[in-house]
Structure 1
Amino acid sequence: MTEHDSRDQPQLGHPRASAERSVATHHNAGIINTGDNPVFVLPPPLENPSLGTNAHPERIIHLPRPATDVFIGREELVAQLHEQRGAELSVCVISGLGGIGKSELALQYAESRRREATLIWWINSENADRAMEGIAELGHRVTPASDEMSSDEAVNLAINWLSRNSNWLLILDNLDEPSSVHSLLANVQGAGQLLLTTRRNLRWPGVCEVIQLEELSQDESVELVKRITGFRDADEEAPLRELAHFLGFLPLALDQASAYMRQTQVPPSRYLEKVSKNPVKVFDSMVDGDKQQSTILRIWNVTLATLVQRSEDAVEILHILAFCAPDDIPREAIGESDSDEDFDALLGLLASFSMVKLTSDAVHIHRLVRKVLLLSLLANPDVGQMARDICLNWLISHLPMQSDNELGSWPLLRRLIPHFEAIYAFYPEDERTSELGAAFNSLGIFETTQGNYPKALTFRKVATEVALSVLGEGHESSAIAMSNLGVAYRDLGQPDTAVELQRSALRMAEQCSAGDGVLAVIYGQLGRTLSEIGESIEALKHHQRAVSLAQNAWGSISVDTAIRLSDLGKAYGATGDLDECIPIFEQALDITKNVLPSGHPIVGIRMGDLAEAYSRAGKGSEAIGLVSAALDILRNSLGSGHPITNSCMRSASAIHHSTGHLEIALELIQESIELAPHEHPSVMRDRLANMATVLSDLGRHSEAIEAVKKALANKKALSRRNAKRLEMLLQMIEVRAGDDSI
């Protein structure tokens, strides 16, 4: 490996420049660099071309450092670079985020060609001046007796040498601007290979191959650390994987971490603890003897400084997006809907520096970039809080007014949820707002419609905590949040907790003179919970009150009023009063059909309610028609695995069972059980009992007995009433089995 001293350019006198930042020279036949983004302007060909021939046939190797001996996950890319070589000039670009391993890949490729290339020349090309110096050094190296030549002449010699020789490799590392190589590519004609590394994701002129580097896989990251550190203790496997994920599978970060652990003999678990507590210090440190390269923090700071010069607005967007989760940030949620800002152009600039990745509908930030940005923002509270609040406002502005009714908004809502979860972590209790609480209340409602009851509980806890801390108990928003929290507990099979919360919510709402709409919701929710614990008479009274309040708040033709009517119909059904129940269900269905599209899941739910009432009233054919239509709607809108669809399957099975269609009934209840393996135990016990009854009616008593025993498996978790009911069912089936065997 040869090293070269820098040479002073000869003095050509002192002509006066005509203006600030202009060039003053007697004459020029070489490179001129002016402005903020200088480019190469190459001199014309030499008058004596023979000076450009290779008078030194020995190989010339000029590299900044040896390639690392631990190189994982990129071997195929080295082979790909070999394949790009041909009889003419080959130009390849390696592009990617700072720290992704661009320079290391170029070094590995250069080492693989050490034995056969006539020349391997590495130029640090952070700016055009450095690139020019590197090419001039090449000219001095390949041409004898060139020490007295100017830099311009040396550059000319280098270009001529490359054009007249073959099997060479010229590496321009860390280029920023495609314009910097326009003239170089136009003048070099030799059968060699030009390899560019850059953080810029742009269109490069004359390029035949662009390699966009991605992160290592988790397994590759773990193996890289193991090989460098030597740590292979099984107890460190889990911390090592967690560390690799924390570092975003980024090669430079993994390499720096490994060098530290190897030198200090700190195991991955301890290093993970250190980097979690003080990431800035760790990211900006390098141990003695480590490879001569910048730390991950310094590399990104240089990129951000360049970006600030280009567009402060783009950097502001990057700061705002740092408060989101790193992956799949919806582009439609970036910015205010009525803004005329060209966010696409600003995102494009960020992507061109590899600080984000763009798809047609999403933005992705590397998780380690995001961590570093957040550390900087949190250290500057004024800037950080402003970026955080803007981010929250963007997210909230894209929440639908009614997340349970607006099906078209569901795909976006699903994508927004991780970003609300991410930003919530940056709001200490004394900085939370009512808007934040309302947003999580909407998310809780949405997760309930999706059947994701544990997540709904989490969101509704947040909504209640924020409402109580910001607004206090004397506000109707606190009351509705608490009642919704009760719904979440009821959905998870904890009706006693739900009743307690909802009674408290009702007291709060009445004390603060809440509006009729709020009171209607709370009365209805409490009524449902009371029905579930067998308090049918009290539940009926609450539902009657809820309907009256709903009609006052929303009028008679409203989805919200129809929901309260349906609840009232169920309450009458629970008391056995089908004469009152059926007309109310029919009214609720008519209202819903008038307000919502025919394929909306709420239409399906209302159909299912009426089908059950028809079945109980002996109207079997009408019930089958309605429940079949309801099931089709729910399958299409919610999917077969949704809890509401599953509940409708169970109803359809019961209706077919009651009309003697036993095979269809069995098929439906079996599908219901298969599609809901993690359903709440109480719900699953009911389904198993239903299946056992159908199996027994089909004469398949042994299978029926097994189903009941499975329902009874965890007897301690059963209430006395449910255990007694299942035991009686088991005895009945055993008796029937005995009778059939006689």
Structure 2
Amino acid sequence: MFVGRTAELDALNSAFASSSEVVLHAVHGLGGVGKSALAQRWAADREELVRWWINADSPAEIDAGLAALARALQPGLSQVPTETQTERALAWLATRGEWLLVLDNVEDPAHIRPLMDRIAGRGRVIVTTRRATGWYQHAVTVRLGTLKRADSVALFTRILTHNGPRTTDGVDEVCAVLGDLALAVEQAGSFCAESGTDPHTYLQLLADRPEDVYAARAEGFDPARTMDRIWRVTLDRLAETPLAGTLLRILAWYAPDNIPRDLLTPVADPLDLAATLGRLTAYSMITDNHDGTLSVHRLVQDLARTPHNDDPHRQAEDIECARDHATELLAVGYPDDSTHPDTWAQYQDLAPHTDALISRHTSCQDTFPTALILDRAGSFQLLQGSIALALSAFQRALATCERVLGPEHPATLASRNNLAGAYESAGDLGRAVPLYESALADRVRVLGPDHPDTLTACNNLAGAYQSAGEEGRALPLYERTLADCVRVLGPDHPDTLISRNNLAYAYESAGDLGRALPLYERTLADRVRVLGPDHPYTLTSRNNLAGAYESAGDSGRALPLYERTLADRVRVLGPDHPDTLTSRNNLACAYQSAGDSGRAVPLFESALADRVRVLGPDHPDTLASRNNLAGAYQSAGEEGRALPLYESALADCVRVLGPDHPDTLASRNNLAGAYQSAGEEGRALPLYESALADCVRVLGPDHPDTLASRNNLAGAYQSAGDLGRAVPLFESALADRVRVLGPDHPATLASRNNLACAYQAAGDLGRAVPLYESALADRVRVLGPDHPATLASRNNLACAYQAAGDLGRAVPL
């Protein structure tokens, strides 16, 4: 049966209509793609007086076909020698023009060259061949690809239902698995029609017993034309090039399309490799895309991965060896650094081949190079925000390292650390912290307490404690780690500088700006001296110091430093580096904190657009940008734009990160705040209550984000006029913050001010005024007299004095 191929038939008609001389048109393609069927269909509609088909897979077959033509033209020649018959046919073709020869399955262009030289200037010749190259100059060649999906489905369905109605559910899936190869579709359809096998059952059989299914055929189906036979015949013809089979078996483990040719460089001598790839291309077993990549039909790959005892090209041992070789090549092909955009294209190019390789064998067959691939792919996926994929990769990598190398091998310890980091990125601190603790204990025991990897593990665990809101455990560990780094590595070692930066950040998070700022300033000076002013770590230090100035309310120092850092990152890293995008977002936040919405909003919009373009719409940083822009709209009084964006940001966080990720919880809280600002208490209160319950459940009752959520709910109750619930909740929030964060943390100071406001709103100036006075004194002492929060406290106290009728104290404030 013949379906589709309208464009190919039109192309043949156009080519043959262009000349009165002999026209050689070679239709080439993979075995089983439908070359002979196309030639047969096209020839059937031709008007030449003589149309003759010759099976031309060898010179002897060509001569036999010509002899048969002579006998058909002149039956009396049957008694003369075959050589004479062949000569008579050639003479006849050379002197007449109304004829068409179809030379089917030509193995080598040289086999038909004597024929073409004899009949020059006459008739039409169409050649079908697997050979894509080697045709002489007046040959016109057309590459025949696989069927279009609609045509392959139509072919399968027509065969399946030829003798009556049958279920066709699953036909599309079968054709997809078979790669729309005409022969495979016909063979599968015929088998299903004769055996009564429905398409879904056929798919299951193909998955369970591929070696048998590829050979299975209906009665009357040419045994020489089955899928497995076509593969073997082609490789038999390449027997003098044993590297061809090796390369095909390696390529079989990758994705079918866009396989980087450079991956194969270590396999063989460059000349041998180029020659073998050329032969495979010539026989249409692979496709050279002429862009540095190769493609292989998925059915060729499936056959190359399927062992068969009777096929010398598909021996189980060779296939397993090829799998391991493919894995090693892919491991070597990955760049070392996934953090720089210059390597992203290469990581993205290798990603589908990693997915294919990993999915085509079980985890018990993984080797250490498999773990390396998974680790590199996982690191890139984590960087790109694909947290679920990264987790899966790191989990399998760790299991492989433990099985292959043992639980105490340094690579296993590193893999355990990487998985803990992925859990932390996913917000799953319940699994991250114990794994970090285990990784640290293992490194201390195996490598010793002073090994650089052990110090890194200490630093990572401290970071996890900090993420979990356990400042009481984070700060001492950061301090101890810094002291150990100085002692073991020296004060100027890059890892020591990282440790110093992390400790400064921990102080800042704890609200201890008195220790954070000097440490940030020292770290920046050290990095400039040791690494240079343009090193990425130096730029990070400059950004962090700007952030600390912002936290201290010192916009006069924060803004110029943010602006300089952004300019430096654009110059050094490029405008699209993730750190540059972060700088742009941070500068926008600083403008917003300084009350400059006119500069903040456009920069937030630009930062969001850039992150969508560079990182994608679902990257966690992009989600954060969306939330930040909504906040900027809200600060600018544009509730009409803020609310839909907050709602969209929350929906995206739930979809991408999950409902319990810390960023999702923060987004829920932000949306509740936006509802509150818009006066929609009916939507704000239930969302605040839900956010608090989720924070308690996911993060625990004492996590800083939980404490913030409790404070926000109290504020919502106050805004709704429900002081009976607001005041006790504010009191609880203040007590918890004193206990967890300490009495001088900025959040604790904010809670003290909020409770004073609630007392005032309740008309209890007797409790409000002393608390306002205490809050102001504390903010002056901790934050300084000019911090925006201190100025707000001073204003609140003045209002309280005024409300109490004490203008003598109100006016000076």
The answer to whether TM tops 0.5 is: yes
Match of 2:545 in 1: 610
Which of 633, 640, 662 matches 2:597?
662
Question: Structure 1 residues 347-356 or 441-450, which shifts more?
Answer: 441-450
Shift of 1:375: 0.7
Q: In structure 1, what is the Cα distance between the partners aligned to 2:268 and 2:130?
A: 33
Shift of 1:726: 5.4
Which of 387, 393, 400 matches 1:453?
387
Using structure 2 for the length normalisation, give the TM-score: 0.73
Which of 613, 618, 624 matches 1:678?
618
Q: In structure 2, what is the Cα distance between the partners aligned to 1:704 and 1:295?
A: 63
Match of 1:533 in 2: 468
Which of 398, 413, 419 matches 2:333?
398
SS at match of 1:719: helix
Say if 1:620 and 1:590 are closer, same or farther in 2 by CA, change over 3 A. Answer: closer
Percentage of pairs with the same residue: 25
Alignment map for 1:129-208 (pairs within 5 Å): 129-143=60-74, 145-208=76-139
Which amino acid in 1 is paired with 2:632? V
Alignment map for 1:10-25 (pairs within 5 Å): none
SS at match of 1:123: strand
Contact preservation (8 Å) 1:620, 1:659: no
Q: In structure 1, what is the Cα distance between the partners aligned to 2:530 and 2:165?
A: 64
Q: Deviations over 1:493-515 (max 9, x none)?
A: 22222112211211222222356
Using structure 1 for the length normalisation, give the TM-score: 0.79
Q: In structure 2, what is the Cα distance between the partners aligned to 1:139 and 1:599?
A: 83
Say if 1:249 and 1:608 are closer, same or farther in 2 by CA, change over 3 A. Answer: farther
Q: In structure 2, what is the Cα distance between the partners aligned to 1:590 and 1:140?
A: 96
Which of 279, 284, 295 matches 1:349?
279
Say if 1:301 and 1:663 are closer, same or farther in 2 by CA, change over 3 A. Answer: same
Q: In structure 2, what is the Cα distance between the partners aligned to 1:214 and 1:729?
A: 67
Shift of 1:589: 5.3
Q: In structure 1, what is the Cα distance between the partners aligned to 2:719 and 2:150?
A: 54
Contact preservation (8 Å) 1:99, 1:252: yes
Match of 1:331 in 2: 261
SS at match of 1:273: helix
Say if 1:98 and 1:703 are closer, same or farther in 2 by CA, change over 3 A. Answer: closer
Match of 1:542 in 2: 477
Match of 1:624 in 2: 562
Match of 1:473 in 2: 407
Q: Deviations over 1:19-74 (max 9, x none)?
A: xxxxxxxxxxxxxxxxxxxxxxxxxxxxxxxxxxxxxxxxxxxxxxxxx2x412x1
Say if 1:335 and 1:206 are closer, same or farther in 2 by CA, change over 3 A. Answer: closer
Match of 1:311 in 2: 241
Q: In structure 1, what is the Cα distance between the partners aligned to 2:387 and 2:84?
A: 75
Contact preservation (8 Å) 2:33, 2:183: yes
Match of 1:254 in 2: 185
Contact preservation (8 Å) 1:705, 1:734: no
Question: Structure 1 residues 701-710 or 254-263, which shifts more?
Answer: 701-710
Q: In structure 2, what is the Cα distance between the partners aligned to 1:490 and 1:632?
A: 29
Alignment map for 1:65-76 (pairs within 5 Å): 68=1, 70-72=2-4, 74-76=5-7
Contact preservation (8 Å) 1:453, 1:492: yes
Say if 1:547 and 1:420 are closer, same or farther in 2 by CA, change over 3 A. Answer: farther
Does 2:22 match 1:89? yes
Which amino acid in 2 is paired with 1:71? V
Alignment map for 1:348-387 (pairs within 5 Å): 348-358=278-288, 359-376=290-307, 380-387=315-322
Which of 570, 575, 580 matches 2:510?
575
Match of 2:50 in 1: 119
Question: Structure 1 residues 553-562 or 440-449, which shifts more?
Answer: 553-562
Which amino acid in 2 is paired with 1:106? A
Which of 314, 322, 345 matches 1:411?
345
Contact preservation (8 Å) 1:236, 1:269: no
Which amino acid in 2 is paired with 1:105? L
Say if 1:446 and 1:586 are closer, same or farther in 2 by CA, change over 3 A. Answer: farther
Say if 1:353 and 1:339 are closer, same or farther in 2 by CA, change over 3 A. Answer: closer
Q: In structure 1, what is the Cα distance between the partners aligned to 2:532 and 2:86?
A: 73
Q: In structure 2, what is the Cα distance between the partners aligned to 1:391 and 1:372?
A: 16
Q: Deviations over 1:223-276 (max 9, x none)?
A: 332333249999955x33322221111111011111222233432111111222
Which of 20, 23, 43 matches 1:110?
43
Question: Structure 1 residues 84-93 or 148-157, which shifts more?
Answer: 148-157
Q: In structure 1, what is the Cα distance between the partners aligned to 2:205 and 2:412?
A: 41
Contact preservation (8 Å) 1:599, 1:633: no
Which amino acid in 2 is paired with 1:275? L
Contact preservation (8 Å) 2:466, 2:474: yes
Match of 1:512 in 2: 446
Could you tell me which runs of 5 or more consecutive residues in structure 1 were left unpaired when the two chains were aligned: 1-67, 736-742
Q: In structure 2, what is the Cα distance between the partners aligned to 1:599 and 1:242?
A: 54
Which amino acid in 2 is paired with 1:327? D
Match of 2:420 in 1: 486
Q: In structure 2, what is the Cα distance between the partners aligned to 1:725 and 1:263?
A: 73
Say if 1:337 and 1:556 are closer, same or farther in 2 by CA, change over 3 A. Answer: farther
Shift of 1:292: 8.3
Alignment map for 1:216-227 (pairs within 5 Å): 216-227=147-158
Q: In structure 2, what is the Cα distance between the partners aligned to 1:552 and 1:439?
A: 35
Which of 679, 682, 695 matches 1:719?
695
Shift of 1:327: 2.4
Say if 1:725 and 1:76 are closer, same or farther in 2 by CA, change over 3 A. Answer: farther
Q: In structure 2, what is the Cα distance between the partners aligned to 1:584 and 1:627?
A: 18
Q: In structure 1, what is the Cα distance between the partners aligned to 2:718 and 2:584?
A: 25
Q: In structure 1, what is the Cα distance between the partners aligned to 2:398 and 2:248?
A: 31
SS at match of 1:130: helix
Match of 2:175 in 1: 244
Shift of 1:426: 6.0
Q: In structure 2, what is the Cα distance between the partners aligned to 1:599 and 1:245?
A: 52
Question: Structure 1 residues 628-637 or 326-335, which shifts more?
Answer: 628-637
Counting matched residue pairs gives 656
Say if 1:428 and 1:83 are closer, same or farther in 2 by CA, change over 3 A. Answer: closer
Shift of 1:107: 0.7
Shift of 1:522: 1.6
Shift of 1:597: 9.9
Which amino acid in 1 is paired with 2:502? D
Q: In structure 2, what is the Cα distance between the partners aligned to 1:230 and 1:564?
A: 71
Q: In structure 2, what is the Cα distance between the partners aligned to 1:127 and 1:447?
A: 52
Does 2:33 match 1:100? yes
Match of 2:430 in 1: 496
Say if 1:88 and 1:592 are closer, same or farther in 2 by CA, change over 3 A. Answer: farther
Say if 1:139 and 1:523 are closer, same or farther in 2 by CA, change over 3 A. Answer: same
Shift of 1:94: 0.5
Q: Deviations over 1:524-566 (max 9, x none)?
A: 2222222222122422233334445556676655655544343
Which amino acid in 2 is paired with 1:699? G
Q: Deviations over 1:454-483 (max 9, x none)?
A: 222122111211122233333333232122
Contact preservation (8 Å) 1:614, 1:623: no
SS at match of 2:77: coil
SS at match of 2:7: helix
Q: In structure 2, what is the Cα distance between the partners aligned to 1:634 and 1:734?
A: 51
Q: In structure 1, what is the Cα distance between the partners aligned to 2:37 and 2:534?
A: 56
User: Which structure: greater helix fraction?
Assistant: 2
Q: In structure 2, what is the Cα distance between the partners aligned to 1:262 and 1:534?
A: 65
Q: Deviations over 1:348-369 (max 9, x none)?
A: 1111111111234122221111
Which gives a bigger RCO, structure 1 or 2 (Cα 8 Å, sep 6+)? 1
Contact preservation (8 Å) 2:559, 2:590: no
Q: CA RMSD in A?
A: 3.5
Could you tell me which runs of 5 or more consecutive residues in structure 2 were left unpaired when the two chains were aligned: 651-666, 672-686, 697-705, 722-813
